[in-house]
């Protein structure tokens, strides 16, 4: 499995940093953002290291599919039905952790 030893998300995937998982599948995991910007703010991360979503899509479309599929499951479970799915690519776009990841955000949490 591709991994960057300095990457915080790789460390979470490996279990070296503990965080409660909200969901997972064979190729991705989901957990709450440490600094949420909306009432619902969940990250979905591929298990293998890819610097951004473009690299993920080009090298492993099945992993991208797994990330989006898990994001859909998490949105259904935790949002009120409307949500945003965002991938930041590059520092100027707001990417701060250079391991591909999707942000699920919503103003409304599921009751």
Expressed as residue numbers, the domain containing 28 is 8-106
- Let me know if 101 is a catalytic residue: yes
The active-site residue out of 49, 50, 99, 101 is: 101
pTM above 0.85, yes or no: yes
Angle among Cα 97, 99, 102 to the nearest 5 degrees reads 90
CATH of the domain at 95: 3.30.428.10
Average pLDDT over residues 20-40: 97
pLDDT at 111 over 80: no
Position 4 scores a pLDDT of 86
Position 57 scores a pLDDT of 97
81 occurs within a structural domain: yes
Position 92 scores a pLDDT of 96
1 occurs within a structural domain: no
Average pLDDT over residues 25-44: 97
- The total domain count for the chain is 1
Average pLDDT over residues 63-89: 96
66 occurs within a structural domain: yes
Position 1 scores a pLDDT of 67
Nearest to 75 by CA among 106, 34, 53: 106
First-residue to last-residue Cα distance in the chain: 38
């Amino acid at each position: 499995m591709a991994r960057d030893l300095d990457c915080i998300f790789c460390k979470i995937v490996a279990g070296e940093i503990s965080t409660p998982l909200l969901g997972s599948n064979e190729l991705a995991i989901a957990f709450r953002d440490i600094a949420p910007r909306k009432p619902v703010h969940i990250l979905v991360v591929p298990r293998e290291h890819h610097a951004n979503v473009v690299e993920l899509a080009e090298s492993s479309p099945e992993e991208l599919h797994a990330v989006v599929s898990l994001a859909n499951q998490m949105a259904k479970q935790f949002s009120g039905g409307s949500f945003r799915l965002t991938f930041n690519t590059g520092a100027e776009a707001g990417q701060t952790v250079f391991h591909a990841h999707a942000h699920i955000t919503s103003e409304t949490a599921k009751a």
